[in-house]
Amino acid sequence: MLEYKKENCINCGLCEKVCPFGAIEIKEGFPAINDNCTECGICAQKCPVNAFHMEQDKIRNQRTEEYRGFWVIGLEKEGEPLNKVTLELLSTARKLADEKKEKVTLLIKGFGECENWKREAQRTGCDKILLIPCEHPGYDAKLYTDAIECAVRCFKPEAVLFPATVNGRDLAPRVSGRIGTGLTADCTGLSLDENGDLLQVRPTYGGSVMASILTPEHRPQMASVRPNVMEIHWTDEEREIETAYLEDFLPTAEDRVTLIECLEKNNVFADLTEANIVIAGGYGLKNKENFGRLFRLCDKLNAAAAATRKAVDEGWAPAEIQVGQTGTTIAPDLYIAFGVSGALQHTLGMKNAKKIIAVNHDPAAPIFDICDVAILGDAGEVLEECCKILEHKEA
Task: Map the footprint of other proteins across residues 127-156, applying CB under 8 A.
Answer: 141-142, 145
Residue 371 C-beta: closest distance to other proteins, Å: 7
Torsion angle defined by CA atoms of residues 158, 163, 166 and 171, in that order, rounded to the nearest 10 degrees: -20
CB 337 within 8 Å of CB 355: no
Q: Looking at residue 328, what DSSP letter applies?
A: B
Q: Quick one: 29 or 363, whose CB is closer to other proteins?
A: 363
N-terminal to C-terminal alpha carbon distance within the chain = 73
Q: Quick one: 67 or 122, whose CB is closer to other proteins?
A: 67
Q: What is the footprint of other proteins within residues 80-109 (CB under 8 A)?
A: none
Q: Report if residue 178 touches other proteins, rule: CB under 8 A.
A: yes
Which of 29, 101, 135, 262: binder of other proteins (CB under 8 A)?
262
User: From CA 320, how far away is CA 348, in angstroms rounded?
Assistant: 17
Burial class (CB in 10 A: 0-12, 13-18, 19+), 348: middle
Stretch of 56-64, 78-86, 112-120, 129-137 lying at the interface with other proteins (CB under 8 A): 56-64
Burial class (CB in 10 A: 0-12, 13-18, 19+), 363: exposed
Strands 334-338 and 277-281: parallel
Q: What is the footprint of other proteins within residues 158-177 (CB under 8 A)?
A: 166-167, 169-174, 176-177
Q: Report if residue 361 touches other proteins, rule: CB under 8 A.
A: no
User: From CA 143, how far away is CA 155, in angstroms rounded?
Assistant: 18
Neighbours of 49 (CB within 10 A): 12
E strands, 74-171, are 104-109, 128-132, 159-163
CA distances from 129 to 74, 168, 171 (A): 10, 18, 19
Which of 50, 56, 116, 235: binder of other proteins (CB under 8 A)?
56
Q: Report if residue 53 touches other proteins, rule: CB under 8 A.
A: no
Q: What is the footprint of other proteins within residues 289-348 (CB under 8 A)?
A: 301, 303, 320, 325, 333-334, 336, 342, 344, 347-348
Which of 65, 265, 394, 395: binder of other proteins (CB under 8 A)?
265
- The CA R_g of the chain, rounded to the nearest whole Å, is 25
Stretch of 8-16, 54-62, 84-92, 153-161 lying at the interface with other proteins (CB under 8 A): 54-62
Q: Quick one: 241 or 382, whose CB is closer to other proteins?
A: 382
Q: Quick one: 122 or 360, whose CB is closer to other proteins?
A: 360
Q: What is the footprint of other proteins within residues 266-285 (CB under 8 A)?
A: 267, 269-271, 276-277
Q: Quick one: 133 or 366, whose CB is closer to other proteins?
A: 366
CB 250 within 8 Å of CB 17: yes
Which of 181, 228, 290, 322: binder of other proteins (CB under 8 A)?
181
CA 169 to chain centre: 8
Q: Report if residue 264 touches other proteins, rule: CB under 8 A.
A: yes
Q: Quick one: 22 or 177, whose CB is closer to other proteins?
A: 177
Q: What is the footprint of other proteins within residues 183-242 (CB under 8 A)?
A: 183-186, 188-189, 193, 199, 203-218, 229
- Identify the helix (H) or strand (E) that includes residue 355: strand 355-360
CB 334 within 8 Å of CB 277: yes
Number of residues counted as binding other proteins (CB under 8 A):
98
Residue 340 C-beta: closest distance to other proteins, Å: 12
